[in-house]
Structure 1
């Protein structure tokens, strides 16, 4: 991770959750981090934590759905911090509701932020990286980029779109033999503040589908991907791996399972507060800093053996190979003894 010392990193959606945890992690490795988001209080809190971790922080209030404003933000980043080495797209918004209860303008807004915001960020980052012939772009995705679930059709649609867009861009970069790389990190359910500010029409409080992971786990996945962007995709969390494998093998069966369990598993027993803040149109953290974590610390995992295994394929395969050879040798030895008898 010494790769990031003195480098210029851009993180969108950096005022809370995965974006904030990622910005802090980059700061811990000595990077200069540009934090892009809408909420003034959230950005200020995130900047303090980045600087306390040892990094340099630059905060820019910007809506990633606004291409021109985002381009101006990138120009400011390079003017104040230097050429952009890594761009991480995280910013998103969503609506928790059945599809039939989401208004057209709400669907449009989620798509603009959660999909087109990634497209604009990638477009702007690539244009600037080409001038220096280097760089890495990390798309923070989700298991829901492959597997849609009930009550999140707008978000799932955006994540599926990012998946297809990123694959297409990756092929083009490989065709051009470009040294610039793009990669995607598929996330599990994460303990972020989004469940306290997302627009919801559910009767009860929203929650991530367990098992839940802490944002720092997600951040470690992002940093590793940024340091090793040659791989096309990373999975974070055993639940992500299990979901993607199950969806590839038996998607119809998963449809029926989620139809039975998906609605209840995304709600807590407590009724939703109708006065809950909503960040769809305006930032919820303009005057209040929600921080990095959500309300699920007691139920969230701070470790992920799957993530370690994902980052150490060579070690895992070597150990598996050694174990297989050991078992084979043991079998041959036992067979020899049986024959001698």
Structure 2
């Protein structure tokens, strides 16, 4: 399967007014792609398009709530009407509520699932007919490490991300069965320093936070840009996420114990915040149409992501490590080829 170079692509980015989506739009445009950006925040989209155009890029915007199928469909139709085709669909939109499960209402839980899961399903539904018409393309869905391991106080979001992983697995195999050269990628970020924790609803009595450490949004965007040109199944972004995924596979009960230690206090700041404070669960809020959040001081670099974007070096390094470990073990055990004669 071969995807077009980014400079030749038409890319639709959903959830682009802030955070990962906003930076992705800027980076795609810098690389020469024609970009269509969508979100609920009209001021955020307007400032983003102006920024792209002022730098010499091409972009248009569509205001859309991803929980409404017809509005998501309108994004795909506008993309094709303006640029004649669609090559890559990037879906980043999400919302959340940080609260104990018993404090979350049925309406709140359903809303998080509608935006964070069903919005992604609607995105794939409307993008696929256009990608099929082109004969190739990429669906890039922003999931989360919470799609592999749920966190306390985030049950609606974790539910949605687990559902997204199940959906993408089924869709990927169906497309393979049809022998359609359409790449389906799940990007699973660790804790990322975006305005997400400024905008979501909290019932903790304080401003919420992700469990540190954080990573900056650019590492997620690097993974998105990579997947837009290189068919990729899954991409866990951030070394901590990779470690958590491994621990979850080895011993879920160990991860339970770790989260009992850090999962509750680790998601609370000391800054008071009422549950009546403005949030973006049911409607957009102003003031956060930016890429980064408030936790740059807690951000660390990642090292292993580079290997995922250089698979030949990755597998060579793993093979070398395995050979070195095996050789060392044989040496310590007293084995030598002459011993076998």
TM-score (norm 1): 0.91
Query: Which residue of the partner structure matches residue 318 of structure 1?
Result: 316
Query: Which residue of the partner structure matches residue 281 of structure 2?
Result: 280
Alpha-carbon shift at residue 82 of structure 1 (Å): 2.5
Alpha-carbon shift at residue 294 of structure 1 (Å): 0.5
Matches within 5 A, 1:1-341: 3-229=5-231, 231-272=232-273, 276-285=277-286, 288-301=287-300, 303-322=301-320, 328=327
Compute the RMSD of aligned alpha carbons. 2.4
* Contact 1:2-1:29 at 8 Å conserved across structures: no
* Number of residue pairs matched by the alignment: 333
* Contact 1:36-1:61 at 8 Å conserved across structures: yes
Deviations 1:256-286 (A, max 9, x none): 321232111011122225664211111113x
Distance 1:73 1:67 in 2: 10
Distance 2:133 2:289 in 1: 37
Distance 1:193 1:256 in 2: 29
Q: Which runs of 5+ in 1 are unaligned?
A: none
* Secondary structure of residue in 1 paired with 2:113: helix
Distance 2:15 2:194 in 1: 12
**Structure 1's 27 and 71: CA in aligned 2 closer, same or farther, altered over 3 A?**
same
Deviations 1:54-83 (A, max 9, x none): 431111100011111211221111111221
TM-score (norm 2): 0.91
* Secondary structure of residue in 1 paired with 2:291: coil
* Secondary structure of residue in 1 paired with 2:61: strand
* Secondary structure of residue in 2 paired with 1:15: coil
* Secondary structure of residue in 2 paired with 1:212: coil
Alpha-carbon shift at residue 2 of structure 1 (Å): 8.1
Alpha-carbon shift at residue 317 of structure 1 (Å): 2.4
* Contact 2:140-2:187 at 8 Å conserved across structures: yes
Deviations 1:72-121 (A, max 9, x none): 22111111122110001110111111111111111111111100000000
* Contact 1:196-1:276 at 8 Å conserved across structures: no
* Secondary structure of residue in 1 paired with 2:48: helix
**Structure 1's 160 and 324: CA in aligned 2 closer, same or farther, altered over 3 A?**
closer
